[in-house]
């Protein structure tokens, strides 16, 4: 009886230790980036590689290579989102969202960062968007991969001030907010 009790206690302790390790592992899947926008300031985002590992890895790789430096936010729709990062990245990535067979629990709510794509579910390359307001109808069709932790006032200002040339939110080239740089900070 004593041996069985000790054995069960040992199994319980191991289970607790393993679950503690899993929690630590999950938190290490969070990364942070700073998006420095000329004349506006810095937006800090938390990237969730637990929900969208391929998308986060791609975004971090491009940022670390300086790919985004000097690119712009070319499509802005007040009350919806601001989209940028177009610049000719060649490698497309798998779309990490429900309708492409991947579980992703990040909802397209205010402040969420998500990957833009072509009509091909696996057609995302470098373009991303930041939600100005909730648009949960995008859930399941786009790879959300994090959220703004600081700087939503900058997103608000950009979306409020944008002068668009059509109903699709196109911004004239000379009016597009410029990304100075995107830095991965951890």
Give how far Cα 73 sits from Cα of 170, 174, 179, Å. 9, 11, 8
Could you state, in order of their start, the residue ranges of all structural domains in the chain? 29-184
The two three-digit tokens of residue 8, written as one number: 């069960």
The total of other beta-carbon atoms located within 10 Å of residue 109's CB is 15
Mean pLDDT, contiguous 10-residue spans, the chain (186 residues): 44 37 49 98 98 98 98 98 91 97 98 96 97 98 98 98 97 97 97
pTM for the whole structure = 0.85
Strand ranges across the sheet with 179-184 = 73-77, 81-84, 128-131, 112-115, 143-150, 41-48, 30-37, 179-184
Judge contact between 133 and 80, C-beta under 8 A: yes
Q: What is the pLDDT of residue 24?
A: 31
**Which CATH number does 29-184 carry?**
2.40.100.10
């Amino acid at each position: 009886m004593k041996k069985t009790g000790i054995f069960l206690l040992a199994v319980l302790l191991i289970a607790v230790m393993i679950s503690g390790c899993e929690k630590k592992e999950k938190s290490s899947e969070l990364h942070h980036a700073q998006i420095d926008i000329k004349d506006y300031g810095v937006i800090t985002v938390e990237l969730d590689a637990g929900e969208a590992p391929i998308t986060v890895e791609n975004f971090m790789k491009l940022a670390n290579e300086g790919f985004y430096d000097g690119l712009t936010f070319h499509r802005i729709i007040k009350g919806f989102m601001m989209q940028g990062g177009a610049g000719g990245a060649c490698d497309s990535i798998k779309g990490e969202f429900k309708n492409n067979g991947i579980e992703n629990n990040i909802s397209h709510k205010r402040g969420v960062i998500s990957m833009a794509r072509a009509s091909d579910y696996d057609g995302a390359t470098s373009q991303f968007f930041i939600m100005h307001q909730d648009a949960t109808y995008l859930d399941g069709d786009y790879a959300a991969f994090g959220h703004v932790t600081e700087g939503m006032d900058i997103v608000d200002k950009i979306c409020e001030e944008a002068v668009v040339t059509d109903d699709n939110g196109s911004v004239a080239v000379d009016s597009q907010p410029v990304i100075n740089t995107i830095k991965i900070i951890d």
